[in-house]
Amino acid sequence: MNEEDLRKLRLAGGIAARALRKGQDMVDEGVRLLDVAEEVEAYIISNGARPAFPVNISINEVAAHYTPKAGERGVFDAGDVVKIDVGAHIDGLIGDTAATVEVSSRRNQDMIASAERARDIVMEIIGEGMPINTLGQAVESSIKADGFLPVANLTGHEVKRYDLHAGLTIPSVDDGNSERIEDGMVLAIEPFVTNGEGLIKPGRQGNIFRLRDGGKVRDESARELHRLIREEFGTLPFCDRWVQDLMPRANIHLNKLVRHGLVSGYATLVEVKRGCVTQSEHTVIIRGRKGEVSTLP
């Protein structure tokens, strides 16, 4: 990794971290989810980066992949456990970070702290040569010692340029994978903790999309939207709020692209027993035997 890329990774990570803090501070009873998402994304842009994906605001049993639609009026309620997941990139070099906030309550503070503690354990031990299953074992042991379960089928992930989920996956359990971490890797470490069964399943179709290879559509406007999406977002995820600015009636043409297989959507991810879920995430750059956390404010 050259010094310029390292500089951009650090800069993107810092912007993502401060944007996340802004989102956390906004969450309160009666506040619109849409306002938080738009404020956080605007902060990223105003500070010289671009959102690496739409801000995820996933509540209670929804673990991930929810972002509000354009015009959505939903608000936070007392007792909500809110996961905010934020990504920023500079020239495709990504900082990915997340935290959990509880609205007007402290009933789930132990579970929020458990996710943070498991994340921080990995930050302390991760480095070149570390087996992946050792990281998973550390996370699993920490969370179970707190009286909760890790979400076994949600993982951290390697991050590459313009590729949010690339290469390695980093589980929150010991999955037996003894493959080793390599110098220069960029990894997003994100334990999910639950008081449910410890598994997630696909829920309703969400509002996050990505381009797919293949597929054809005859509609000229839909083809033009496809071109604009590729030009604006490339291989990174996007949402309907973002495509509205690209051309008139963009959402109609987006639906055509989905039907013809040129765009796919992410389903929301829901705990199988509807248990509450918490999340905490940092991006870490592997530099020899140490990991450098890039997503600090």
pLDDT at 189: 98
Same domain, 247 and 196: no
Instruction: Return d(Cα 101, Cα 186) in angstroms, integer.
Output: 26
Same domain, 23 and 159: yes
Whether 96 is a known active-site residue: answer yes
- Taking only the tens place, the pLDDT of each residue in 13-72 is 999 999 999 999 999 999 999 999 999 999 999 999 999 999 999 999 999 999 999 999
pLDDT at 204: 93
Whether 281 is a known active-site residue: answer yes
Same domain, 263 and 130: no
pLDDT at 216: 85
Same domain, 162 and 285: yes
Instruction: Return d(Cα 28, Cα 26) in angstroms, integer.
Output: 6
CATH number of the domain that residue 222 is part of: 1.10.10.10
pLDDT at 214: 78
- Residues 165, 174, 219, 224: which is the catalytic one? 165
pLDDT at 136: 97
Same domain, 32 and 88: yes
Same domain, 230 and 127: no
- Residues 157, 253, 260, 282: which is the catalytic one? 157
| DSSP H or E stretch at residue 165 | strand 163-170
pLDDT at 66: 98
Same domain, 104 and 214: no
Same domain, 156 and 282: yes
pLDDT at 1: 82
137 pLDDT band (50/70/90 cuts)? Answer: very high
Question: What b/e string do you get for 154-178 counting C-beta neighbours within 10 Å, with b at 16 or more?
Answer: bbbbbbeebebeeebbbbbbbbebe
What average pLDDT does the chain have? 96
Q: Scanning the structure block, which residue is given the tokens 């998402």? A: 37
- Taking only the tens place, the pLDDT of each residue in 243-266 is 998 999 999 999 999 999 999 999
CB 181, CB 207: distance < 8 Å:
no
Instruction: Return d(Cα 270, Cα 255) in angstroms, integer.
Output: 24
Instruction: Return d(Cα 101, Cα 31) in angstroms, integer.
Output: 13
CATH number of the domain that residue 131 is part of: 3.90.230.10
CA-based diameter of the chain, in Å?
57
Same domain, 107 and 245: no
Same domain, 49 and 142: yes
- Residues 85, 116, 140, 292: which is the catalytic one? 85
- Taking only the tens place, the pLDDT of each residue in 208-221 is 999 998 778 889 99
The strand pairing partners of 84, in sequence order, are 57, 99
What length is written for the chain? 297
Whether 175 is a known active-site residue: answer no
Whether 282 is a known active-site residue: answer no
pTM of the prediction? 0.96
- Taking only the tens place, the pLDDT of each residue in 56-106 is 999 999 999 999 999 999 999 999 999 999 999 999 999 999 999 999 999
Instruction: Return d(Cα 87, Cα 100) in angstroms, integer.
Output: 15
| DSSP H or E stretch at residue 169 | strand 163-170
- Taking only the tens place, the pLDDT of each residue in 162-177 is 999 998 999 999 999 9
- Residues 61, 116, 240, 281: which is the catalytic one? 281
Residues spanned by the domain of 117: 3-203+269-293
Instruction: Return d(Cα 278, Cα 23) in angstroms, integer.
Output: 16
Same domain, 120 and 36: yes
Whether 89 is a known active-site residue: answer no
Q: Kindly compute the dihedral angle of the four CA atoms of residues 241, 243, 247, 253, in this order, to the nearest 10 degrees.
A: -110
Instruction: Return d(Cα 128, Cα 287) in angstroms, integer.
Output: 7
- Residues 158, 190, 240, 271: which is the catalytic one? 190
- Residues 41, 96, 116, 158: which is the catalytic one? 96
Instruction: Return d(Cα 104, Cα 68) in angstroms, integer.
Output: 21
Same domain, 20 and 147: yes
Domain count, the chain: 2
